[in-house]
Amino acid sequence: MILKVGMERLRQNKLIFGIVCALVCETLFGLSYMFTKTAIRNAGVFALLGWRFFLAIILSSILVKLGVMKINLKGKSLRPLLIVAICSPCLYFFGETLGLKYTTASESGVFLGCIPVVSLIASTVILKKKPSVRQVIGILITMFGVIITVLAVGLSSSMSFIGYSFLTLSVISYALYSVSVEKAAGYSISEITYVMLLLGATVFIILAIGEALLNGNMNELLMLPFTNREFAVSIVYQGIGCSVIAFFLYNIAVTNIGVNRAASFIGFSTVVSIISGTLALKESFTLPQIIGAIIIITGVYIANAEKEVSGESKLTKSKS
């Protein structure tokens, strides 16, 4: 009896710890939209991405040297990892950052709140994993929320077709990234993440240098973090806070509460981005937009909650 009570308490503690890690992780991601919006006011998109991933790969390389991140790619094909890295960070952050440039932080946060649902669709089409009726309902609810939000911001915010196109690219690329990660089952999370950061740093540093050479402002690019305080704060936050710290928190969350339940917290970053965009950047956020955000988060929860329930039921059956 005592053993049973102890095991139950341990399970509850792991659940609470995992939930806290997921919430902190998504808070970091939610605030990143605000930092991105601030940074691109002072610099180009590629300058921001180049410096961000430069810091991220430097720190992650130090962690590899210290043994915190364990990498062993000897004899392994890099193709699956390159596919993952092309989808994210390359295409995803390209679309997200340019999307933020042409829209508001709150719009972008709401739009990107659809990622878990689009990932579910990609899983259905590519991995042939059929969604349940409840998951389909969740998808439809989320899409309805997106329509409401886009129509609402058309009257009160950017209504940028270019911005929405880039955000759509980021959502689709992240969904393909999720599918690619599932296919790359033979690699550790550290190996996948390190290759992602390495390719992201390579691509975005080259693009940043190319852009600087074309514009004749190479010195400005190199000195940007030292001459612009807002830019420096943004790249430190994103390079270290989002690309490294949030990664570890997400891994802890997945370990304690499972992939599907951890993914369902992505909607929380949408709420954080809305609040930060409204309070810090003084962006407008009307009642229809709030309703749309609530509908999106509700749809995401419904779509993901069913997956977790199904997984748990299968686990229970296998144990019995």
pLDDT in tens, 288-311: 878 887 887 887 778 666 444 444
- Closest-CA residue to 61 (of 248, 193, 241): 193
pLDDT at 139: 75
pLDDT in tens, 172-212: 998 888 788 778 878 887 888 899 999 999 999 999 999 99
* Cα–Cα distance, 20 to 262 (Å, whole number): 10
For residue 318, pLDDT over 60 is answered with no
Residue with more model confidence, 17 or 53: 53
Residue 108 has pLDDT above 80, yes or no: no
CB 44 within 8 Å of CB 228: no
pLDDT band at residue 258, thresholds of 50, 70 and 90?
low
Q: Where are the domains of the chain?
A: 18-319
pLDDT at residue 217, rounded to an integer: 92
Its pTM stands at 0.77
Residue 287 CA to residue 193 CA, distance in Å, equals: 39
Residue 188 or residue 146, greater confidence: 188
Mean pLDDT is lowest, of 19-28, 202-211, 243-252, 264-273, for 264-273
Using the predicted structure, report yes or no on whether residue 316 has a pLDDT greater than 60. Answer: no
Note the pLDDT of residue 245.
85
Question: Per-residue pLDDT for 315 more than 70?
Answer: no
Distance CA 3, CA 218 (A): 65
Complete DSSP assignment for 116-157: HHHHHHHHHHHS--PPPHHHHHHHHHHHHHHHHHHHHHHHHS
Q: What percent of the chain has pLDDT over 70?
A: 83
According to the model, what pLDDT value does residue 87 have? 93
Peptide bond just before 89 cis, omega within 30 deg: yes
